[in-house]
Amino acid sequence: MFVSVIFVLIIIGSIIFHFWSPWWWTPVASNWGNIDDTIILSFWVTGAVFVAVCLFMAYCVWAYRYRPDRKAEYKPEDKKLEFRLTWLTALGVAALLAPGLVVWNKFITVPENAMKIEVVAYQWGWNYRLPGADGVLGKTSVGLISDDNPYGLDSSDPNSKDDILVMDADLHLEINQPVKVELRSFDVLHNFYVPQFRAKMDMLPGIITYYWFIPEKKGDYEILCAEYCGTGHYAMRGRVLVDDEKDYSNWLAKQISFEKMIAKNNLEKNLLIAENKN
């Protein structure tokens, strides 16, 4: 009886802790509020299973406790019980997976009007690349990465010349503009995560991963790396600033294009050569 009561108290305590816990999600600032709904559904399904299993264990401990006048039954298998448990488990797994698969399909089905943005991760920081006036990101190659070409852009590709290079941990986005983020890593595993957007994805060296979202609220939101990437992982942070059209345009006008960066680098080299000759 004492052990059964302990099981029941564990159930009650767990439920109280869940509802009274000080932790909860940050306010949603994108179109992915249904991810919260999926997580809440998972809480309900797993919580119901937890309560049912603990109550069943409490009942078994009490109902089948030791008695001198009772003999234990040897029953190595029960096909009816196994069949029922198998189907109940399958239904529970389906209830957990089905909503997540629907949301995942939406998460990677990018609308045609989404603007492509490249997010570049390295130990331990963030850089970004935006399309220029042509609206197309130029080609890149790992073999082209150098001090003068930190993104590895192909200078022979005309689409790369007007690409906007944001060599800063802060990224500005225009409110209500769908965005597809294409994720690259220069070294190890990283993960681009903005809690308020409910959006995250692993970044693998040599592979471009992606997802999309719509920033729906103006504000300043923190970027985190959600994949342990080394000793500086804790400090790998940035910011997403969601602006109105005017503020976004003003910020964009201050950024440098790949073509201008090449011209700037060449000018600095020529000045350095001239100084050395003098």
**What is the rounded average pLDDT of the residues 241-253?**
92
pLDDT of residue 99: 85
Question: What is the pTM for the complete model shown?
Answer: 0.79
User: What tens digit of pLDDT does each residue of 223-238 get?
Assistant: 999 999 999 999 999 9
Residue 194, number of CB atoms within 10 A of its CB: 23
Query: What are the Cα distances from residue 28, in Å, to 180, 214, 221, 253?
Result: 18, 11, 11, 29
- What residue spans in the chain does CATH classification 2.60.40.420 cover? 115-271
The number of C-alpha atoms within 13 Å of 169 and in the hemisphere containing its C-beta is: 15
**Confidence band (pLDDT; 50, 70, 90) for 265?**
confident
User: What tens digit of pLDDT does each residue of 148-185 get?
Assistant: 888 888 888 888 888 999 988 899 999 999 999 999 99
User: What tens digit of pLDDT does each residue of 8-45 get?
Assistant: 888 888 888 888 877 778 899 999 988 988 888 888 88
> Which fold does the domain 115-271 belong to in CATH?
Immunoglobulin-like (2.60.40)
C-alpha to C-alpha distance for 139 and 28, rounded to whole angstroms: 34
C-alpha to C-alpha distance for 228 and 36, rounded to whole angstroms: 24
pLDDT of residue 115: 92
C-alpha of 67 from chain center: 55
pLDDT of residue 226: 93
